[in-house]
């Protein structure tokens, strides 16, 4: 029996990009999630922020957070679809 858990997925996008490429990257991530059979419960976009440490030699990033009620089988399919990095944690 599969158990659906609520996962928090933070997508880290280069903060040096203009608003349009950031929106395109988020649309692509959301499209991949829905095409792979997932769903998005909510999206929290806090805008551009300074990172605690450089990521790909960049210190400013846009970090929208998605809440995903998913099965564990979907999560490995999402890795590698963000501009800079994507991280998951169970909440």
DSSP state of 41: S
Q: How many residues does the chain have?
A: 91
CA atoms within 13 A on the CB side of 82: 22
How confident is the model at residue 36, as a pLDDT?
A: 78
How confident is the model at residue 55, as a pLDDT?
A: 84
Residues with Cβ < 8 Å from 32, sequence gap 6 or more? 77, 78, 81
Answer whether residue 18 shows pLDDT above 80: yes
Query: What percentage of residues in the chain have a pLDDT greater than 70?
Result: 71
- Domain containing residue 69: CATH number: 3.30.70.60
Q: Which domain holds residue 48?
A: 5-90
Q: What one-character-per-residue DSSP string does 42-60 give?
A: EEE---EEEEEEEETTEEE
- Total domains present in the chain: 1
Answer whether residue 41 shows pLDDT above 80: yes
Highest mean pLDDT among 26-35, 57-66, 68-77: 57-66
Calculate the CA dihedral of residues 91, 81, 48, 9 and round it to 10 degrees.
Answer: 0
């Amino acid at each position: 029996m599969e158990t659906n858990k609520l996962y928090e997925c933070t997508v880290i996008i280069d903060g040096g990009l203009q608003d349009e490429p950031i929106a395109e990257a988020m649309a692509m991530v959301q499209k991949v999630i829905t095409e792979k059979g997932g769903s998005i419960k909510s999206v929290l976009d806090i805008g551009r922020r300074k990172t605690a440490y450089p990521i790909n030699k960049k210190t400013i990033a846009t970090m929208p957070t998605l809440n995903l009620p998913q099965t564990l089988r979907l999560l490995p399919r999402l890795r590698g679809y963000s501009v800079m990095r994507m991280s998951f944690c169970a909440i």
